[in-house]
């Protein structure tokens, strides 16, 4: 599904050039749950920005289902991103003055739904993440773990081709982290969701099917994980 070939990425500042991704070859198939680990500054964010069609200026080739989108206009790329990728962030990134329902509904409205067509689907994903009775609450009225569940519901409601989760448990205690990781694992196993997860927490790895270690912009290790 995701196929990077010979990808290099540079950042230029006044004095020098930083080679942040170095000759990356990476294939990720449908249904994988991939953990990306590496020290701070190793290139993880750069890599997922590229995978998630946020950054399209790099050397080399990114084929998604056999097609390259890098030359497309910003507008077209935004549409592709909305359709293909669901994002989950460390800080949840919910809209505070929207209810849980409205937060989860928003991607559907962006994708052309009318507000009277959304209820069933919103309630379905809220039920899936265990929050159907919280639809009318505001993010501030929920715990961190519940807010992350809302963010996951928002990420999956458009049935994206894959989910990028950037340190999704970074702001949560270990018990809640485990619950969130179980939810991701369930999405992966039951719905065959493809999940790419950046994490610092070795505990999260046990739920993943594959581990990629990056260091100084290079893939140092890439291995399957057994159940």
Binding stretches for ligand ADP (CB under 6 A): 11, 18, 20, 38, 40-46
**Shortest CB 59 distance to ligand ADP, Å:** 15
Which residue lies nearer to ligand ADP by CB, 20 or 125?
A: 20
Nearest approach in angstroms of CB 90 to ligand ADP is 11
DSSP assignment of the chain, as one string?
Answer: -EEEEEEEEEEE-SS-EEEEEEEEEEEE-TT-EEEEE--TTSSHHHHHHHHTTS----EEEEEETTB--TTS-HHHHHHHHHHHEEEEETT----TTS-HHHHHHHHHHHTT--GGG-HHHHHHHHHHTT-GGGTTS-GGGS-HHHHHHHHHHHHHTT--SEEEEESTTTTS-HHHHHHHHHHHHHHHHHS---EEEE-S-HHHHTT-SEEEEEETTEEEEEEE---
Q: Which is nearer to ligand ADP, 121 or 216 (CB)?
A: 216
Smallest separation, CB 49 to ligand ADP (Å): 8
**Closest distance to ligand ADP from the beta carbon of 25 (Å):** 18
Identify which of 81, 91, 88, 27 has the alpha carbon closest to the alpha carbon of residue 54: 81
CB of 13 to ligand ADP, least distance (A): 6
Residue closer to ligand ADP, measured from CB, 16 or 227: 16
Nearer Cβ to ligand ADP (25/191): 25
> CB of residue 221 vs ligand ADP: minimum separation in angstroms?
15
Between CA 144 and CA 142 the distance in angstroms is 7
């Amino acid at each position: 599904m995701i196929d990077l070939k010979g990808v290099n990425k540079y950042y230029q500042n006044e004095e020098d050039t930083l080679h942040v991704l170095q000759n990356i070859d990476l294939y990720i198939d449908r249904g994988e749950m991939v953990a990306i680990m590496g020290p701070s500054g190793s290139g993880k964010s750069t890599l997922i920005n590229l995978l998630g069609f946020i950054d399209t200026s790099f050397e080399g080739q990114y084929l998604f289902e056999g097609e390259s989108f890098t030359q497309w206009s910003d507008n077209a790329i935004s549409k592709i991103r909305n359709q293909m990728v669901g994002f989950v962030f460390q800080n949840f990134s919910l809209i505070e003055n929207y209810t849980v329902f409205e937060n989860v509904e928003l991607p559907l409205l962006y994708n052309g739904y009318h507000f009277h067509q959304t209820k069933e689907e919103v309630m379905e994903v809220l039920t899936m993440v265990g929050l159907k009775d919280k639809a009318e609450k505001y993010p501030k009225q929920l715990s961190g773990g519940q807010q992350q569940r809302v963010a996951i519901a928002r990420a999956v409601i458009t049935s994206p081709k894959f989910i990028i989760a950037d340190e999704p448990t970074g702001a949560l205690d270990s018990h809640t982290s485990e619950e969130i990781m179980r939810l991701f694992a369930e999405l992966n196993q039951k719905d065959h969701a493809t999940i790419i997860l950046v994490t610092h927490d070795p505990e999260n790895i046990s739920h993943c099917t594959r581990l990629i270690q990056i260091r100084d912009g290079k893939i140092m290790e890439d291995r399957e994980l057994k159940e």
